[in-house]
Structure 1
Amino acid sequence: MLRSLRRYSIKAPFPTNTTGKGPAAFDKNMPSNVPLKAWERDGESKDHWFKRKHAHHHALQKERGKNDRRDFRKKKDEKPKDLKKLLHTLKPSPLVDYIYGTNSVLAALQSNKREFGSLNIHIPVTVSSTQLSTMGKYKEIKNLAKSMGIEIKEASKQDLNQLTNNGVHNGVVLESRKLDVPVIRKLGEEFTQEMFTYVNSANDYQSVYVDNKSVKGKKRFPLALYLDELTDPHNVGAIMRTAYFMGVDMIFLSERNCAPLGPVVDKVSAGAMEFMEIGYVNKPLDFVSKSSENGWAVFATDMPGTLNKKTSDVESFTIDDVKNTLNEKPTLLLIGSEGEGLRKTLIQRSDGTVGIYGGRKGMVDSLNVSVATGMILGLLLN
């Protein structure tokens, strides 16, 4: 059966156009006039024709690509340089103090203890009521700077933020040298109610003339503070502000482990740092001992009634006791650090401790060092 089927050709079951004998062809269904390709018409090979026809386009495209890459590399190389240059101009110099805030800048100009660079000022077009209240100080600062020959520059808010590490600058930043603070060896044996002396690191005696204050209508002897290892610049600045306001005659700071006398302290002190007599102490134990030998009364500030190893073997005095002493001789108050307080070795070299009592017992059993110092000074000098 299979062999018989192979003898006959397979035909379609429906009528078709191929009725003739022989193999069917597709030529009659294809267009007879086929258009020639461009390279066929020109008698050239396809590759040769494309190279001749579009070679200049390829050259232009290649050159354009080179230029684009060259421009990209140029921009890539130039951008970091511009950025570094910009950051270099805005980056604060470690050799310069950038005093900021209207009170601090005005105090620095008025005290004139430093060498100044330029005064950078930014006053926005729209200012708040708080800023308007200080516009008089802006004018005073500008006039004083002009009279001192200080260059005045207009700056953006971002520039001032960069110079002050985002401090509250009130739109004014003054470039200056760092404050020149002498290193003190001891307080001198020469003193009156109007003056006292100290010995610096070069063994030179320096005199300080004080502004006389009254305690219960009587003139008193000089009062100085020694700040031992206070690391928070806000506390140091707050103590300086209170001390200057209350009439303290000089402040000494431990040269090591104490907050630097920079723009932050200046700002918090509201400019008091510029007017205050200040000295560094690099040997606190010798400073306290030798000052005591030269006739100065030394009291360590502490909370009375706290029986601890530091103060249990040291006599405790009241504020009235210190007042009476201040009417007889110059007095040095020792202020301890925020966390640990005064070192035991310093307390043992003092004449005794003095402090304030709390009015309530509970979880809050102490005060911030700047607040406690302010209260002691208020009770002592009012």
Structure 2
Amino acid sequence: MASPFSGKFSPALAGIFRILCRPRSVRQAYAEPSRLHRGGVIQSQRAKSTWISGDLLENPPIEQQRNGTTSSRTDAENVHGQARMLRKSGDPGRMKEDRKPGKGKVTAEGDDVVFGMNPVVLALRQRRRRFFRLFITEAKSLSQEPLMREIVRLAGEMNIPMVKVEPAVLHTLSSNRPHQGICLDTTSLLPEPLDFDALKRELNTALRSDRKSQLWLFLDSVMDPMNFGAILRSAYFFGVDRILIFNGCPLTATVSKASAGIMEIIPISVVADEKRQLPTFFTMIKEANWQVVVTGSKNELEEAASVGGQSKRRTMASLTANGNVLLVLGNEHDGVNREILRFSDQMVCIDAGKEDLLEDANCLNVSVAAGVILSHITLKRKHPEETTTATATV
């Protein structure tokens, strides 16, 4: 007897048969073309699941009624449940996709892709961005790490579609940077333009005797995203109260990763190059009696001394960190802007451990220098007596 699927109609009949054999919730998802959104996303209310490019990943936690009781399924249980459902459907094509998800081309909807566990979880906690999709590997979706479970929970609360993909897709989305099996499709994070009216009020408040001394960090044209991110991480660790940038690197996903996600939580203001905001800002800082501490290499400070800055030069031991301090770090190649140098009270150079340094390696990376100087300022403020004794000994 001939098979009912033999002949020229067998492919079509076989396709219909496979769809009819699927569970009702799956057929419902296929029967709702009006729910098709950008990127091939279908939201099925009945299945309470997210379908993307043929891959199913439920948004946990999903409350299910079983015999009158409510239970919360974990992410691992959801994924295993999907595999069982696909096997029961008798669809070998779907089973193959479940083993090797996300093989097709994936493009981001937003203009930034945050990658790495810490940046993703901190971005989700702060909710300063708009989120589109969360891309994860199958191994990561089964992970029971506390951080991963929190990411899944936050994504579920915000109804962010979660997509299982191959690691190669994440390599592309993260530009081959260490993504740790997770990427978040999102909008860019922008620094806040400096509000000079608010700045004036803040400077007046900082003058009050009952306020702790402020430590602000000003980054002058720091362009490398890895340096920028490392500086943000050190600034957060050493208790910097505010960060301002001028002509610098944008707040990209690479910066967020280099900062271990600190970029997502620390306030950053930008001083614009237009309308002469730079001299206006430093004039206000000086009028409020702040100490402006400028850093640089030995050669840079010698050049500054030749134009009247000799009396401002300090060693790390003689650096004064009392009161409100604005620490300025300059560009990786050119150092601090000359226009800023004239506002400085102290010019600090980190002493090298040897004298015969190569000319091309006679200074520290700007992010390393930031950590050293911030650590020194913190030490002076926390233990002024010990640092005074050490200075006298030197």
- By how many angstroms is 1:224 displaced? 1.0
Match of 1:234 among 226, 238, 241: 226
In 2, the alpha carbon distance for the partners of 1:125 and 1:99 equals 16
Does residue 353 (structure 1) correspond to residue 347 (structure 2)? The answer is yes
- Post-superposition Cα deviations, 1:189-240, rounded to whole Å, max 9, x if no partner, equal 44489x759xxxxxxxxxxxxxxxxxxxx98411111111111100000000
In 1, the alpha carbon distance for the partners of 2:140 and 2:245 equals 42
Change (3 A) 1:123 1:295: farther
Does residue 141 (structure 1) correspond to residue 135 (structure 2)? The answer is no
- Post-superposition Cα deviations, 1:42-71, rounded to whole Å, max 9, x if no partner, equal xxxxxxxxxxxxxxxxxxxxxxxxxxxxxx
Whichever residue aligns with residue 265 of structure 1, its letter is V
In 1, the alpha carbon distance for the partners of 2:141 and 2:163 equals 19
Total equivalences in the alignment: 266
- By how many angstroms is 1:319 displaced? 4.5
Change (3 A) 1:219 1:358: farther
Whichever residue aligns with residue 313 of structure 2, its letter is S
For the 8 Å contact 1:122–1:171, the answer to whether it is kept is: yes
Larger RCO, structures 1/2 (Cα 8 Å, 6+ apart): 1
Structure 1 vs Structure 2: percent identity of aligned residues?
30
In 1, the alpha carbon distance for the partners of 2:303 and 2:104 equals 52
Instruction: State the match for 2:239 in structure 1.
Output: 247
In 2, the alpha carbon distance for the partners of 1:372 and 1:346 equals 19
Instruction: State the match for 2:332 in structure 1.
Output: 338
For the 8 Å contact 2:282–2:343, the answer to whether it is kept is: yes
Does residue 373 (structure 1) correspond to residue 388 (structure 2)? The answer is no
Instruction: State the match for 2:261 in structure 1.
Output: 271
Instruction: State the match for 1:73 in structure 2.
Output: none
Whichever residue aligns with residue 90 of structure 1, its letter is V
In 1, the alpha carbon distance for the partners of 2:127 and 2:317 equals 38
In 1, the alpha carbon distance for the partners of 2:135 and 2:325 equals 42
- By how many angstroms is 1:333 displaced? 1.0
Match of 2:137 among 103, 107, 122: 122
In 2, the alpha carbon distance for the partners of 1:166 and 1:368 equals 24
In 2, the alpha carbon distance for the partners of 1:181 and 1:370 equals 20
Instruction: State the match for 1:78 in structure 2.
Output: none
- Post-superposition Cα deviations, 1:158-184, rounded to whole Å, max 9, x if no partner, equal 221221111211111112221132111
Q: How does 1:89-168 map to 2 (within 5 A)?
A: 90-92=106-108, 96-124=111-139, 135-168=145-178
Change (3 A) 1:163 1:241: same
Change (3 A) 1:324 1:336: closer
The gaps in structure 1 that reach 5 residues or longer are 1-84, 198-217
For the 8 Å contact 1:355–1:376, the answer to whether it is kept is: no
Instruction: State the match for 1:60 in structure 2.
Output: none
In 2, the alpha carbon distance for the partners of 1:341 and 1:241 equals 21
For the 8 Å contact 1:304–1:316, the answer to whether it is kept is: no
In 2, the alpha carbon distance for the partners of 1:135 and 1:124 equals 11
If the length of structure 2 is used for normalisation, what is the TM-score?
0.60
Change (3 A) 1:191 1:184: closer
The gaps in structure 2 that reach 5 residues or longer are 1-52, 54-101, 380-394
For the 8 Å contact 1:224–1:333, the answer to whether it is kept is: yes
Does residue 188 (structure 1) correspond to residue 182 (structure 2)? The answer is no
In 2, the alpha carbon distance for the partners of 1:237 and 1:247 equals 16
Instruction: State the match for 1:201 in structure 2.
Output: none
For the 8 Å contact 1:299–1:334, the answer to whether it is kept is: yes
Structure with the higher helix share, 1 or 2: 2
- By how many angstroms is 1:270 displaced? 0.1
Whichever residue aligns with residue 272 of structure 2, its letter is N
In 2, the alpha carbon distance for the partners of 1:360 and 1:273 equals 35
Bigger Rg, which one: 1
Match of 2:188 among 178, 183, 189: 178
In 1, the alpha carbon distance for the partners of 2:192 and 2:202 equals 19
For the 8 Å contact 1:92–1:162, the answer to whether it is kept is: no
- By how many angstroms is 1:344 displaced? 1.7
For the 8 Å contact 1:188–1:294, the answer to whether it is kept is: no
